Each structure stands twice: as C-alpha cells, then as structure tokens.
Amino acid sequence: QDGPQRKKRRSEVGEVDKQLDILAIGTAVGSILLYSTVKGELQSKLDGGHDSRVNCVRWHQDNCCLYSCSEDKHIVEWNTQTCKVKCKWKGDNSSVTCLCISPDGKMLLSAGRTIKLWDLETKEVYRHFTGHATSVSSLMFTTVKPMNESIPFDGITGLYFLSGAIHDRLLSVWYIRSDRKEKNAVMSFAVTDEPIFVDLTVSEVKEEPVKLAVVCRDGQLHLFEHILNGYCKKPLTSNCTIQIATPGNDGDSTPKPVPILAAAFCTDKQSLLLVYGNTSQPVIEKVSLNTSEPHICLVRDIQKVLSLKTDAALTKVKTPVVNSDTKVLVPGIPGHSTAVKTPASGKEKKKNKRKPGEAEESIEERLGALDIDVSKVKTPGGLPQTDSLAVLLVQGLESNDAEILNKVLNTRKENIVKSTVARMPIYAVIPLLHELTKRLQGNPYSASLMVRWLKSVFTLHASYLSTLPDLIPQLGMLYQLMESRVKTLQKLSRLHGRLFILASQVAASEAVQDVPEVNQTAKLVYEDESSEEEGSDDEMIADKDSDENWDEDEEKEEQSDEQDMTVEKEINGDSDLEPENESEEE
C-alpha cells in the first residue's frame, strides 16, 4: 500500500480502499465497473480485458488485485490502482463461469465445466478435477486447514472445496491431494432443485462440522451439517428444509408459498439472514433456527408476494376471425389445428372503417364472432406426436383429467412411450408415478400397459429419483403392490404348469381318437407252388397242433382237413385218382 502508484492516488480514494466498500460489477460487454458505496457514484471503469460477457469477479483478500473470468475463455488479473490489466491467460477451452481464491491467496480455482486449480505466481495449472456435466455456478473453499494435522501444510494440500452447477441437483465436495491421481468428488449433497445461492461456515478445527445453506430454484432452503472426513459414496441429504408461506387469511384459505431468494450465515454461525419475497421488493430477516426438526415452515404475511408458479395449464383459448385459407394453431399443442367460425356475412368482407349512419356492432356480437366450434376440433391422425403427448400428459396430471390421461397412457407403442417420458418435465415425474400406481391396482390389462410406462420412467429419470430424499415413502404403495404380486407369482406358475400338462394330455387323447382305424385285411394273397410232400408235412403239423389244442372236436377237424386237402388238390392240379396220396394223408 506504500508503493509509488499508491501515493499518486488521492487520499479519499485511499480511504475508500481501506474501508473495502468498493463494489465490482461485471457487464455484458466485457468491462468491469467499480462503484463506491460511500459516495454513491461510479469510481472507475476497467476496460480492455475481456471481449465478451463477464461471468464472475473476485477480490483478492491481501492486495488490491481483482480477478475476472468471461465467455471469451480467459481469466484476467486487474490492478485496481492503475485500472489496467496486470495479467491475462486462457483459462479453459470453453467459457469460464466461476472463480474462487484459496484461503492463503496463492491459488485460484476456475471452472467452466471442468475445475482447475492455478498457481497465481506461475499462472500454471496445479491440479485438474472432473467437474460437472453443465456450467459451474458456485465455487468456495470449505476448510482453511487440513483435517490431518500430522501432514505438514503447504497452504493448499488437504483442503476441501465445494462446487455447484446449473441444472444439477448435486453439490460436489472435492479434496486437494498431494498427488494427481484422484480427480473425482469425495462426497456430494443432494437438494430438490437447481441451487441458485450457496453459503457456508468454514471449518477451522478438525472436529468442527461444515454448515451449508443452499437456496434452490423452487424457493426452498436446505441446511446441511457434516464433518468432512474423507470419501462418502452416497449423496448426503439435508438435515433441515425451510419454507415460507402466507397465512392464507385474506379471503383465500389456501396458504401460498413465498420463495426464498438467498440465505447467509451470521457471524455466530447459528442464526441465518433470509431474503425472501419479490425480487424487486425483497424482505430481509434474521432467523434463529433449531435444526433438530427435519422440516420447518415459516408463516409470513407479506404484501405483493411473488408466489411460485404452479398452475401453467392454458384453458379457453380464443382465436380471432381470420380468412378461411389460414391455418390456426392452438397454443400448447404443436400442430393442433382448430376450425374457426366464419363471419355471418359470409362472402362480403367487412371493412375497418364504419360508414356514417351505420350501427356499430355490439360487444355480444363481437364475442360471438370469436367463439371456437369445439366439436369440429380434430387432431390429425388420431393421437398427436410425442412432443404433443408430453404436453397432454402434463396437462392431464395437473388438471387430473381422466379422459386426457386415458388417451395418453393407453399408448401401446414402446418408442412413443419412451419419447414421451423423455420429453416430460422433471416436476411431473412424481405425479406420473402416483397415477401409474393408482392404475396398477385396476384390471390386469391396464396393469400390463402401466408397466411399460413405469419401466421408461425408472430408466430415463433414475438420476432424478435417486436425489429425492423422501423417495421411499412416496413409492411405498408401489413397493407393496409389486411385492404382493410377486408373492403370488410362484403359485400361479405352478398352476399354469399343471393346467398346461392337463391341456396337452387332453389334446393328445383327442388326437388319438380322431385317427381312423386301419383295415388289417390283405388286399392281395399270393401262395407259392409246393410239392406234395411238403404239403403233406404241413398238414401233419397242423393236425398235431389241432390234436393238442382241440381234443373234443377231433372228428370235425378231420372232416374239415379232408375237405381242405381236396380243395388244395384241385388248386394244385392233382386228381382224386391217386390212392397212395390219399392213404398217406389219412
């Protein structure tokens, strides 16, 4: 502070610097404005550093340096005494969105999507970290000393820092190691929506927990309290959730939520400063909280409160009278055309200018000309496309319209179901799960259709569902339903197997009965010629067999044998005039 440049400045500016009441404001054109809160006027302007929008500015705690980052991928170190660029270097391959200076003032954290730790003396990267999938919006150190006091402290190794990104419901905590091996986060904090404001109490002692206050875009405040002591795989949920609502006495019995805009810890690390209400007229209040309760709702009666926008459904769309050749689209459903009533005059077009003496149209006639014939409204090709189905599904869930829900949820095509679930907004996932659970308890045909939607929801929105702290209570009914059905699966499988065996046996027996009987009689008999001796031997063998088997009918068999022999002789051409053969046969 005693350098030559310092002496050249005016004494009043020096007093302003000592009081630390200069506000640095980054602009969209790349310049930085230094505003004096004591004088209430602009003190100086820093130009020539950035070519694009300034994303973040950070004061150095020890000297008069100011650090800024921009969409032009560069980081600039400013000398606020001379209002000139002290150093400028490329910080990332894409835009740099956030900065944070280390507690000892020798290191600088910068982040676009990946996070880098810079040595401010050499302007070289000291460590790389994985970062987030989207642009980082907040960076801050959570500790000033390493937790392991046995290791000598070099000013940066062993410290923890916190990062949050847009559209990311997880705040990550990173650990600066002495080696370059580990680049991933050691733990994370789960919140209900994108964080818009983060404040914490820095841990100065090993046993002192870090207190974290996170304000989300949905207007809730989440409080965390955790001792940073190494790796933690599962995301940590909040110890306490704070909401603000109106009492609901003034003509409306329903309390309305009041969004919390920001929150900061006081110097005692116990009480909080809450900023809530309208962004143009915020209310600032100091609150002492007991974090033993998991959920706190503060009732505040404020005027002109900016309530959360929950009902976004569009109803009763009025379309002006236009030419019949014009295609009219209803807002909310892409490609949804509607029929419009033509004016009563028909062919003649009415001019804007009214002739003198002509009666002016009444308000009733004008409103009648704007009505839409709802009965003629048709959707081309039956159901709309997947983007329209997603809009219809959200509207049906918000209005609890059974007709719309039946039309959407009865879709059988797998690809349409997946596309619809992928396009639907995050806030509609839990209401859709509740609706599917309710429909699963119906008939089996409806349940088979709902299982397809459940599969797509759990596949595409698993990351969102895993961050919800009260997921198990919300899905309790679904768990019980699935468990009861799985219990009966084994019995039903056995019954199905037995019925299948019975049905197959009945079918087999019917198939055997339906087979026609085969005629066993020979179509053609051929007998080869044989000698008389062979014939006589055969007859003797036949006689012996007949004697053994049929003792009672010997005489009858002999007579029949004689007759058979005479027939054979006639067939073989033998005459009855041979007595020798006859005696032998007898």
Residue 150 structural domain: 97-299
Query: Which pTM was predicted?
Result: 0.51
Domain match, 114 and 237 both: yes
For residues 46 and 529, which has the higher predicted lDDT (pLDDT)? 46
Residue 122, domain member (yes or no): yes
Q: How confident is the model at residue 323 (pLDDT cuts 50, 70, 90)?
A: low
Q: In one letter, which amino acid is 455?
A: K
Distance CA 372, CA 528 (A): 103
Find the mean pLDDT for residues 10-26. 61
Q: Chain-centre distance of CA 437, in angstroms?
A: 17
Last residue of a domain, one of 299, 328, 363: 299
Residue 374, domain member (yes or no): no
Lowest-confidence range among 190-194, 195-199, 393-397, 441-445? Answer: 441-445
Last residue of a domain, one of 264, 299, 334: 299
The model's pLDDT over 254-286, given as tens digits with 9 standing for 90+, comes to 788 899 999 999 988 889 999 998 888 889 999
Q: Please state, for a pLDDT cut of 70, what percent of the chain lies above it.
A: 70
Over 50: is that where the pLDDT of 571 sits?
Answer: yes
Find the mean pLDDT for residues 365-382. 53
Residue 321, domain member (yes or no): no
The model's pLDDT over 486-518, given as tens digits with 9 standing for 90+, comes to 888 888 899 999 999 999 999 998 888 776 766
Q: How confident is the model at residue 556 (pLDDT cuts 50, 70, 90)?
A: low
Beta strand ranges found along 192-300 (DSSP E): 195-201, 210-216, 221-226, 240-245, 257-258, 260-265, 271-277, 282-288, 295-299
Lowest-confidence range among 66-75, 150-159, 312-321? Answer: 312-321
Domain match, 181 and 294 both: yes
Taking the CA of residue 362 as centre, how many other CA atoms within 13 Å lie in the half-sphere pointing to its CB? 3
Lowest-confidence range among 239-248, 357-366, 511-520? Answer: 357-366
Domain match, 121 and 267 both: yes
Over 60: is that where the pLDDT of 48 sits?
Answer: yes
Cβ atoms of 114 and 92 within 8 Å: the answer is yes
Find the mean pLDDT for residues 469-494. 84
Say which CATH number the domain at 251 has: 2.130.10.10
Total domain count, the chain: 2
Residue 254, domain member (yes or no): yes
Find the mean pLDDT for residues 525-552. 59
How many Cβ atoms from other residues are within 10 Å of residue 344's Cβ?
9
The model's pLDDT over 143-177, given as tens digits with 9 standing for 90+, comes to 888 877 767 778 888 889 999 999 899 999 999 98
Q: Cα torsion at 388, 393, 399, 403 (round to 10°)?
A: 90
Domain match, 390 and 277 both: no
- Would you state the pLDDT for residue 577? 47
Q: Please state, for a pLDDT cut of 90, what percent of the chain lies above it.
A: 30
Reduced to 3 states (helix: H, G, I; strand: E, B; else coil), residue 175 is strand
The model's pLDDT over 387-432, given as tens digits with 9 standing for 90+, comes to 578 888 888 888 888 888 888 888 888 888 988 998 888 888 988 9
Q: Chain-centre distance of CA 266, in angstroms?
A: 37
Residue 579, domain member (yes or no): no
- Sheet of strand 41-46: strand arrangement: 22-26, 32-36, 41-46
Distance CA 195, CA 168 (A): 8
Please list the residues that pair with 262 across neighbouring strands.
275
Residue 500, both tokens? 């299948």
Last residue of a domain, one of 492, 519, 550: 492
Handedness of CA 528, 533, 539, 544 (dihedral sign): negative
Q: Chain-centre distance of CA 430, in angstroms?
A: 10
Domain match, 272 and 395 both: no
Q: Chain-centre distance of CA 236, in angstroms?
A: 20
Residue 488, domain member (yes or no): yes
For residues 249 and 409, which has the higher predicted lDDT (pLDDT)? 409
- Would you state the pLDDT for residue 8? 36
